[in-house]
Amino acid sequence: MKACVLIEISRRTPTSVTVHPVALFSILDHYLRRGDNQPRVIGTLLGTRTDTEVEVKSAFAVLHSETSEQVAVDMDYHRGVYDLHHKINPKEVIVGWYSTGSNLNTYSALIQNFYTQETTPNPAIHIAINTGVEEGERAGVSAYVSSPVGVFPKPENCVFVPVPVEIRFLDAERSGRKILPFLPSTESKNSFLAVVDLLAKTAASPNASSNQPVSDLEILEQSINTVQTMLDRVLTYVQAVLSGEVKGDPAIGRYLMDTLGASTNNLDKSGFNASLQV
């Protein structure tokens, strides 16, 4: 019977973890809002999972405190927030927890034990994020599962086993990533970009190259090309209307006139406006 249980557990151990940028940004924002006496923050990871892969889609902060003598986690708050989230998005379940920093200690093992109970019969995933905010600290993301130690293991005794992790952009998330470099500089934005860029370069998945964020220069080039394509379409339409190939739409004409009004001081607007009359 014991052998069967061990085989079943090994089958459920994931071989890869995927993190979406929305969850990553929530974690970094939580870290930047922490109290002055908090060396790290923790929270719950939500997403979907199969027997071999865990996909982290969102996260929320959990209140906790740590001292040299004890660690306390507000479990009631954790369950209350999860219940609310589950009503809105029932497909996302608890897959594990996150913390900032790379210090995996006895307290980490205790928290891991709590989340393992929340994800049973599946193992809990732990995401550790180095924010890169502190001087000399390199930004990055690591994923772990835990394995008990000893013949009669205690909750505080476990080994954290690394699991390959990658970042995955949906189309909407990729669009948001592209405009971030043009927004005002903030610690949260800079940390997010640093972690995402580093993770995209070091992701172990062979498909990670297709999800790598592009550089600022490439983003600018793509934006200019998009605007140029739109202008070419407008010019083609206007030329077709003027040559009589296409019947002009007065609504489109008025919209173009309003859009280009600030730059058409030298045009004969009276004649142009007359052509827009229905």
- Looking at per-residue pLDDT, the higher value among 237 and 62 belongs to 62
CB 126 within 8 A of CB 145: yes
Whole-structure pTM over 0.75, yes or no?
A: no
Q: Which two tokens mark 188?
A: 């949260």
Q: What percent of the chain has pLDDT over 70?
A: 66
Nearest CA to 134 out of 267, 34, 263 is that of: 34
Closest alpha carbon to 115 in 106, 125, 105, 107: 125
Most trustworthy range by pLDDT among 23-27, 102-106, 166-170, 269-273? 23-27
pLDDT band of 213, cuts 50, 70, 90: very low
pLDDT (average), residues 30-44:
85
Q: Which has the higher per-residue pLDDT, 87 or 182?
A: 87
- Percentage of the chain beyond pLDDT 90 is 19
Single-letter amino acid, residue 19: V
Q: What integer is the mean pLDDT of 12-23?
A: 84
Residue 180 has pLDDT above 60, yes or no: no
* Residue 243 confidence (pLDDT) above 60: yes
Average pLDDT over residues 81-85: 92
pLDDT at position 126, please? 93
Residue 30: CA count within 13 A, CB half-sphere:
24
